[in-house]
Amino acid sequence: MKPKLKISVPKVRKKNAQPPANRITNENIAEHREEVLGSARKYIYPLRHSKHSLVKISLSLLAVALIVFFSYTALALYKFKSTSDFMYQVTKVVPFPVARIGTDFVSYESYLFEVKHYTHYYSTQADVDFESDRYKQQLADYKKRAQEKVINDAYAKIIAKQKGLTVSEQEVNDEIAVYRNQNRLGSTDDELKAVLHDFWNWSIDDFKRTLRQQLLNEKVVAELDTEAKQKAEDALWQLESGKDFSELAKEVSQDPATKENGGNFGFLIDKNNRDVSPKTVQTLFSLQSGEISKVINIGYGLQIVKNLEQKDDKIKAAHIVFNFKDINDYLGAIKDRRPAVTYATF
pLDDT tens digits for 172-215?
999 999 988 888 888 788 999 999 999 999 999 999 999 999 99
Percent over 70 (pLDDT), the chain: 85
Residues 176 and 26: their CA atoms lie apart, in Å, by: 85
What is the reported pLDDT for 23?
63
Query: Is pLDDT at 329 greater than 70 in this prediction?
Result: yes
| Whether residue 220 sits in one domain with residue 87 | yes
> Do the strands 97-101 and 104-107 form a parallel or antiparallel pair, or are they unpaired?
antiparallel
Domain boundary among 224, 259, 275: 224
| Whether residue 297 sits in one domain with residue 265 | yes
| Whether residue 209 sits in one domain with residue 233 | no
* Max intra-chain CA distance, the chain: 166
The answer to whether the beta carbons of residues 265 and 249 sit under 8 Å apart is: no
pLDDT band with cut points at 50, 70 and 90 for residue 304: very high
Over the stretch 87-122, which tens digit does the pLDDT of each residue have? 999 999 999 999 999 999 999 999 999 999 999 999
Query: Is pLDDT at 265 greater than 70 in this prediction?
Result: yes
| Whether residue 217 sits in one domain with residue 106 | yes
| Whether residue 286 sits in one domain with residue 191 | no
Question: Considering its fold, how many domains does the chain have in total?
Answer: 2
The answer to whether the beta carbons of residues 315 and 275 sit under 8 Å apart is: no
- Helix, strand, coil share (%) of the chain residues, nearest 5: 55, 10, 30
Kindly report the average pLDDT of the chain as a whole number. 88
Most confident segment among 31-45, 106-120, 128-142? 106-120
| Whether residue 253 sits in one domain with residue 165 | no
| 19: number of Cβ within 10 Å | 11
Exposure string for 26-50, b = 16+ CB within 10 A, e = fewer:
eeeeeeeeeeeeeeeeeeeeeeeee
Contacts of 159 (CB under 8 A, 6+ apart): 165, 220, 224, 330, 334
What average pLDDT score do residues 254-260 get?
94
What is the reported pLDDT for 48?
58
What is the reported pLDDT for 5?
47
pTM, two decimal places: 0.79
Percent over 90 (pLDDT), the chain: 70
What is the reported pLDDT for 330?
87
| Whether residue 139 sits in one domain with residue 247 | no
| Whether residue 203 sits in one domain with residue 242 | no
Q: How far is CA 122 from the centre of its chain?
A: 21
Residues 74 and 56: their CA atoms lie apart, in Å, by: 27
Question: Which domain covers residue 219, as residue numbers?
Answer: 83-224
What is the reported pLDDT for 229?
93
